[in-house]
Amino acid sequence: MKKSVPVVLTIIFILLLILLLRPRWYLNLTRQVDVSPAVGAALVEKHDCRSCHVIGGEGAYIGPNLTEAAKRESEATLYGWLANPRKMRASTAMPNFHLSDSEIHAIIAYLKSIQ
């Protein structure tokens, strides 16, 4: 009984670490969505992207206007910003939303759909 205590504590520690760091595989496992413009639009609402970006004529100018972002930027660049903004620019004001791959691709599908 006593010998299992360190094992249990280690497992709890690892689980806490995963919840804290939210690695990509964990996000992909727990937040799988349909890759569609409608789902992307809902995610843009949920995370309030328009509090910083103009998208389709509405929003704030803290970040770049995203209405034509899918035309201006490559898919890899858009993915990079949505997956980890700090990796794209260390001093950026854009927060990391811990989006899964399917959530990112749904948002990109939405941005493409409004071109």
Helix (H, G, I), strand (E, B) or coil at 21: helix
Q: Identify the DSSP state of 51.
A: G
Please state the closest distance from residue 91 (CB atom) to ligand HEC, in A.
7
- For ligand HEC, the closer CB: 8 or 76: 76
Please state the closest distance from residue 26 (CB atom) to ligand HEC, in A.
19
- For ligand HEC, the closer CB: 33 or 82: 82
Helix axes 101-113, 75-83, angle to 10 degrees: 130
Q: Which residues bind ligand HEC (CB under 6 A)?
A: 44, 47, 49, 51-53, 62-64, 66, 69, 72-73, 77-78, 81-82, 89, 92-95, 97, 107
Q: Are 49 and 41 in contact (CB under 8 A)?
A: no
In angstroms, the CA 28 to CA 37 distance is: 19
